Amino acid sequence: MELRKKLLEGLLLVVAVVLVLLSFLYFDYYLWLSFGVVAVAILLFLVRFERKIIGAREIVLLAVLAAIAAVSRIPFASIPSVQPTTFVIMMAGLVFGAESGFIIGIVSGLASNMILGQGPWTPFQMLAWGLVGFSAGLLKNKKFMSYQWGKILFAIVWGFLFGWIMNLWGLLALIGPDGSFNMSVLVAYFVSSAIFDSMHAFSNVFFLLMFGGMWWKILQRFKVKYGLLE
């Protein structure tokens, strides 16, 4: 049973990645593909809790965390790559698990762009933030994640991984009208994004050090007191 569940979860993750990559070919339909990724995230969540009735409390909690992650981008919109969204999603994954972190990341990416602007980059942002929450949940029981330095390392790594995933949609602009592709331009593109990725990593660490302990206690209290998302 557990093997079947893991295989199904793996298949759903592949489907989500395929939907995002399809935006390369059908970028005029990026919004429909984004909703498709949300549907996959919901299915992944239901697979995780297939033997449990999901109550209103769990749904409300997921919605509130996704809303906080989405809205927290807005005050920092004028500062490139600096926002607490990644931190919120990371903490949700660490406390409530991979599937919950994934759906919070996916929904927050789509919801925040409803305000800040949709575009071909939306599916890539959704996938990147979804993977932040998913990987945090997968690693939450690892020994190194029980230490502060482990969480800091995770925050730094995802500051750069997020940027690299986002760089993929920029490849559309680097492909010439004849379909040609210049590798030197690609390298320069990734190098030039390093400063923004560094700012993202720094902001992740900043929010983790400033608010990580408080968020951990609050989310754990909700989880234990109400038995949420066990």
pLDDT tens sequence across 170-197? 776 666 556 666 677 777 778 888 899 9
Write out pLDDT tens, residues 33-89: 888 988 888 888 777 766 556 667 778 888 899 999 999 999 998 888 899 999 999
- The torsion region of residue 117 among left (phi > 0), alpha (psi -120 to 50) and beta comes to left
Q: What residues form DSSP beta bridges with 175?
A: 181
Q: Is 119 helix (H, G, I), strand (E, B) or coil?
A: coil
Terminal C-alpha separation, the chain:
18
Enumerate the domain spans of the chain. 2-226
d(CA 106, CA 149): 26
Contact 37, 20 (CB under 8 A): yes
pTM score:
0.88
Please write the tens of the pLDDT for every residue from 94-150: 998 888 899 999 999 999 998 888 888 888 899 999 999 999 999 998 999 989 999
C-alpha 140/C-alpha 130 separation (Å) is: 15
User: What distance in Å separates the CA atoms of residue 92 and residue 133, rounded to the nearest whole number?
Assistant: 7
What are phi and psi for residue 175, nearest 5 degrees?
Answer: -90, 125
Is 2-226 a CATH 3.50.50.60 domain? no
